[in-house]
Amino acid sequence: MEDRIHQPWGIRSPYSRGETWPIRLDERADGEVDRWVASACVLCSNGCGVDIGVRDGRIVGVRGRGSDRVNRGRLGPKGLYGWEANGAPDRLRRPLVRKSGELRESSWDEAMELVAEKARTLLATKGSGALGFYTTGQLFIEDYYTLGVIARGGIGTNHLDGNTRLCTATAAQALKETFGCDGQPGSFADIDHCDALLHVGINMAETQTVTWMRQLDRLQRPDRPRLVVIDPRPTPAAREADIHLAVRSGTNVAILNGLLAQLIENGWIDREWIEAHTVGFDALARAVEPYTPEKVAEICGVDAGAIREAARIIGQAERLLTFVLQGVYQSHQATAAACQANNINLLRGMIGRPGAGILQMNGQPTAQNTRECGCDGDLAGFRNWQNAAHIADLARIWNVEPQQIPHWGPPTHAMEIFRYAEQGSIGFLWIIGTNPAVSLPELRRIRSILSNPELFLVVSDAFPTETTQFADVVLPAALWGEKTGTFTNADRTVHLSEQAVEPPGEARADLDVFIDFAQRLELRDKDGERLVKWSTPEEAYSAWQECSRGRPCDYSELSYERLRAGSGIQWGGERLYADGVFPTEPELCEDYGHDIVVGNQLSEPEFRALNPQGRAILKPAEWTEPHEWPDEEYPLVLNTGRTIYQFHTRTKTGRAPELSAAAPDVWVELAQTDADRLGIEEGDVCEVVSPRGTVRAPARVSGIREGVVFLPFHYGSWKAEEEDAPSAANELTITQWDPVSKQPIFKTAKVRVTKVAGGTGRSPAPEVAASAPAGAAT
Amino acid sequence: VKIGVLLGQLRELEAGLAATYRGTGERHADDHDVYHQCVSFAKKAEGHVAKLASLAERYDARNGADSQVQARDDNELGLLGVLRTLFLAAEEVSITWVMMNQAAQAARDAELLSVVQECHAEVELQVKWLTTRIKVAAPQALVTA
């Protein structure tokens, strides 16, 4: 196989509109493989069908499955190399318990009894609100559903959220605001049929590598879709684009309003469809009217003619496919902007048909499931916390009293959970499969919360991390390939991932740990029976199937047996809303919605007053300046994000030698003009300073837009030699979040950059994709 | 759990409201609808006080003035108190805009009316935001903190 580090997207298999995406089989293994075990990839939200190669009880390789609808045999670089982390020598093998200030190995019984005892004590003295859980987008359905039942139905705490708050909260919220309920409208197969693509704040070549390959393959043919990209960085998609709008960070609502205004002004809208299938058109038209190309050009720092041309491409498309991701979700006005992307497709009637659709993407592999299973700020089965009938239904399924399930307010979001821990009202926090000491904003504050001796901190992970070092108890977790479970990708494709090997040492599957916890707390249903009535993954999954029955995310027909027989099945069929009927019936919807500018929760009567009744809701928003905006002292905007070779805080990818070597250390990207002005050259060591902290990084002079600097967010300090120089982008970010989705803002901190030492040649930034040097074409 | 403290506050507030209704009714007895409505609202408020009295025993209600609640700027209860104060201030502003709205219509002052409508809508939004935020903050502050 070719070198897929330097050729991340591999060889092209061009195809035309309406054709089937050709199969390309990607495989990588160290030596012979004894047997292949069916799974799917967990290194982004794409969910590629993959087989795990096993020899002598160890994972030794992977191969893409050609029959899988998601990837048709392909794998990205993270998928091809990332599995090596499973065999890393520093895997956690035994529980650790803090004794005399130090983490020491213990038995599972000792560690779990300590956890249970602390939970029992706080429940008795302060009640369920003293316990919080902060999870991940990396568990399986079986884990999420079980933990949701334990936390909400058993303990009765409202404080259960995941790091999906940082990644997909806005996707879910925008879908709820516009369509009444979560659930991805579109399908990756829409790429085969579209004639125009709109990318809003998504660097897909690096974040969902394989689905970018699919678009790239279509872009090779003469009938290639027209491509409009909104992104401040010169991403591979931006380089392929017909129109690249390199907007200033923090201006998404303005650019989208500008496009909406052009669509309306030029009559590129489907009035009949709008009339039949939406509410709110008049208010939207009024709201966007002031956003002329000239006004938008001034706000966003782009050319007015390019805005007109982008609108023409979108407006004249017959099948428009829109992708949205973190450039929108991690900015201020996140939900407001994501809703305007929905509005573009709705005004054009471009939804529910082959090639015409919306994909509000996810970041993590199983983010969709924490939303579905109610293990983040949602309730299981997309149930509405304000709807008493939904709560009663959940109580019936769990066999608990309805008042046991917290529903006096929305489930507590992650940033609020950490605030309660900071103030002391949460005294027990269990962090599962995530690394907030690197991934949350304003790390100095997060470290001070995690190190508070009053907080009892439990951390489940497969590796020692920057977060485990603060823990009172560390529980070693089985990884992907070491346990069985299901998960769902960003286009609703469900895969069963089978256990291929045993976990190392005494590491355990999270599901087993949660059930052990429930038993130690003696959690009961209202008849005195065990609350958690299952013990195997398949039993847990069956319980979830029952909970989802009749809801929009209905898994009741997707048994393990059916999943084993195929290779990835979508719930809800190929695409949702083919009939133009949306789940906005008040009795059905997951959320009555919000004022998307300020964040006020709407009540049932206010929702009914919108009179949606199965129609989509067009919600307008005015653009507002971010609360923190560049000034004289901090003249630049900091944008943070990822590279193709790393995932999150590198807990896995940093332990895969090829991936780690491809992007070994932090860098800061600057525009040529900014670099010239600051006297900075490629490779010079710089300090990036915000009001909250400092990061030291060598410069990559790239094609990023003027006024914006970029730091990758992967680089914490778990590798010993990195401890001296602060390298985590979140030292600089601001503690602030979108008022609706509560997603923290990672894209618009104000910073200044200064050179502190002369060049050492090239920075360690990858030479491919968005971080490529200025002038390079990759 | 600070529910007892809040019960004490509610008793005081309801009792005060009852007295104000009665006083207002007596002073404005010639505004007959006001008189009758105030008296019946006063009875309702007195009924609320009675209902709270039995609950207060369970929660050991304290008089709001000498409560042992320690609200600080940096704790849950402190935030809840500040939000409540803000809500009351915003409501006062809101109802004053309502008055101005009526006056602007009667004065046929289109310019004033357009200012009133824009500003009042914004204040109503603030009141709703404060309501949303108070609902989120209250359980943790009153039950757990």
Nearest-neighbour CA in chain B from A103: distance (Å): 29
Q: Any chain A CB within 8 A of the CB of B143?
A: yes
Best residue in B128, B129, B133 to probe A by mutation, most A CBs within 10 Å?
B128
Residues of chain B with pLDDT > 70: what percent?
A: 94
Count the alpha carbons within 13 Å of A378 in the hemisphere toward its beta carbon.
30
Residue of A129, A599, A600 lying closest to B139 (CB–CB): A129
In chain B, residues with a C-beta closer than 8 Å to the C-beta of A408 are 135, 139
Residue in chain B nearest A411 by alpha carbon: B136
Calculate mean pLDDT across residues A83-109: 97
Residue in chain A nearest B128 by alpha carbon: A600
**Is residue A381 predicted with pLDDT exceeding 70?**
yes
pLDDT of B56 reads 84
A600 and B132 in contact by Cβ < 8 A?
Answer: yes
Number of helices followed by number of strands (H, E) in chain A? 25, 27
**Is residue B115 predicted with pLDDT exceeding 50?**
yes
Calculate mean pLDDT across residues A718-741: 84
Nearest-neighbour CA in chain A from B12: distance (Å): 25
Structure tokens at A519: 């038993």
| Chain A positions touching chain B (beta carbons under 8 Å) | 126-127, 129-130, 158, 406, 408-410, 412, 416, 420, 423-426, 595, 598-601
Q: Are strands A636-641 and A708-712 parallel, antiparallel or unpaired?
A: parallel
Best residue in A159, A412, A601, A606 to probe B by mutation, most B CBs within 10 Å?
A601
In chain A, residues with a C-beta closer than 8 Å to the C-beta of B2 are none
Band the pLDDT of B64: cuts 50, 70, 90: very low
Calculate mean pLDDT across residues B75-89: 94
Nearest-neighbour CA in chain B from A150: distance (Å): 19
Band the pLDDT of A310: cuts 50, 70, 90: very high
Measured CA to CA in angstroms, residue A761 lies from A96, A432, A668 at distances of 43, 40, 14
Band the pLDDT of B4: cuts 50, 70, 90: confident
B129 and A599 in contact by Cβ < 8 A?
Answer: yes
Give the model confidence (pLDDT) of A444-481 as tens digits.
999 999 999 999 999 999 999 999 999 999 999 999 99
Residue of A129, A599, A601 lying closest to B143 (CB–CB): A129
In chain B, residues with a C-beta closer than 8 Å to the C-beta of A409 are 135-136, 139
Residue of B74, B75, B144 lying closest to A129 (CB–CB): B144
A601 and B74 in contact by Cβ < 8 A?
Answer: no
Distance CA A160, CA A725 (A): 34
- The rounded Cα A335 to chain-centroid distance in angstroms is 14
Contact assessment for residue A653 and residue A659, using Cβ atoms and an 8 Å cutoff? yes
Nearest-neighbour CA in chain A from B71: distance (Å): 12
List helix spans (H) across A180-251: 204-207, 209-219, 236-240
Residues of chain A with pLDDT > 70: what percent?
A: 99
Best residue in A598, A606, A622 to probe B by mutation, most B CBs within 10 Å?
A598
- The rounded Cα A150 to chain-centroid distance in angstroms is 24
CA A244-A250-A254 angle, to 5 degrees, is 70
Distance CA A391, CA A405 (A): 7
Nearest-neighbour CA in chain B from A7: distance (Å): 49
> What does the DSSP 8-state code read for residue A566?
S
A600 and B129 in contact by Cβ < 8 A?
Answer: yes
In chain A, residues with a C-beta closer than 8 Å to the C-beta of B1 are 127
In chain A, residues with a C-beta closer than 8 Å to the C-beta of B145 are 423-425
Give the model confidence (pLDDT) of A224-280 as tens digits.
999 999 999 999 999 999 999 999 999 999 999 999 999 999 999 999 999 999 999
The helix/strand/coil state of B10 is: helix
Band the pLDDT of A377: cuts 50, 70, 90: confident
Backbone angles phi, psi at A38, to 5 degrees: -70, 135
**Is residue B74 predicted with pLDDT exceeding 90?**
no
Nearest-neighbour CA in chain A from B19: distance (Å): 32
**Is residue A717 predicted with pLDDT exceeding 90?**
no
Distance CA A157, CA A774 (A): 51
Q: Is the pTM of this model over 0.80?
A: yes
Q: Any chain A CB within 8 A of the CB of B132?
A: yes
Give the model confidence (pLDDT) of A515-540 as tens digits.
999 999 999 999 999 999 999 999 99
Backbone angles phi, psi at A436, to 5 degrees: -60, -20
Contact assessment for residue A354 and residue A190, using Cβ atoms and an 8 Å cutoff? yes
Structure tokens at A330: 């991690």
Band the pLDDT of B57: cuts 50, 70, 90: confident
Residues of chain A with pLDDT > 90: what percent?
A: 97
Classify the phi-psi angles of A601: left when phi > 0, otherwise alpha if psi is within -120 to 50, otherwise beta. Answer: beta
A595 and B145 in contact by Cβ < 8 A?
Answer: no
pLDDT of A1 reads 58
Q: Are strands A27-29 and A58-64 parallel, antiparallel or unpaired?
A: antiparallel
Measured CA to CA in angstroms, residue A171 lies from A290, A320, A481 at distances of 27, 19, 28
Q: Please give the interface size between A and B, counted as residue pairs whose CB atoms are below 8 Å apart.
A: 50
Contact assessment for residue A180 and residue A612, using Cβ atoms and an 8 Å cutoff? yes
**Is residue A778 predicted with pLDDT exceeding 60?**
no
Cβ neighbour number for residue A18 with a 10 Å cutoff: 10
Measured CA to CA in angstroms, residue A648 lies from A206, A436, A645, A728 at distances of 13, 10, 10, 11
**Is residue B62 predicted with pLDDT exceeding 70?**
no
Contact assessment for residue A459 and residue A468, using Cβ atoms and an 8 Å cutoff? yes
Distance CA A191, CA A195 (A): 9
Nearest-neighbour CA in chain B from A425: distance (Å): 5
pLDDT of B145 reads 87
Strand-pair partners of A229: A199, A244
Total residues found in chain A within this entry:
778
Give the model confidence (pLDDT) of A586-636 as tens digits.
999 999 999 999 999 999 999 999 999 999 999 999 999 999 999 999 999
Mean pLDDT of chain A: 96
Residue in chain B nearest A600 by alpha carbon: B129
Report the candidate in A38, A57, A90, A31 with the shortest Cα–Cα distance to residue A501. A57
Q: Any chain A CB within 8 A of the CB of B129?
A: yes
B135 and A409 in contact by Cβ < 8 A?
Answer: yes
The helix/strand/coil state of A549 is: coil
- Predicted ipTM? 0.85
Strand-pair partners of A135: A162
Which residues lie below 8 Å from residue A551, measured CB to CB, with a gap of 6+? Answer: A381, A382, A383
Query: In the 3-class helix/strand/coil scheme, how is A127-185 assigned residue by residue?
Result: CHHHEEEEECCCCCHHHHHHHHHHHHHHHCCCCEEEHHHHCCHHHHHHHHHHHCCCCCC
Residue in chain B nearest A131 by alpha carbon: B144
B136 and A416 in contact by Cβ < 8 A?
Answer: yes
pLDDT of B65 reads 44
Report the candidate in B9, B34, B13, B11 with the shortest Cα–Cα distance to residue B22. B34
> What does the DSSP 8-state code read for residue A334?
H
**Is residue A219 predicted with pLDDT exceeding 90?**
yes
In chain A, residues with a C-beta closer than 8 Å to the C-beta of B132 are 599-601
Amino acid (1-letter code) at residue A355:
G
B136 and A410 in contact by Cβ < 8 A?
Answer: yes
pLDDT of A721 reads 54
Distance CA A368, CA A230 (A): 25
Contact assessment for residue A495 and residue A487, using Cβ atoms and an 8 Å cutoff? yes
Q: Are strands A226-230 and A196-200 parallel, antiparallel or unpaired?
A: parallel
Q: Any chain A CB within 8 A of the CB of B121?
A: no
pLDDT of B2 reads 84
B76 and A423 in contact by Cβ < 8 A?
Answer: yes
Nearest-neighbour CA in chain A from B138: distance (Å): 10
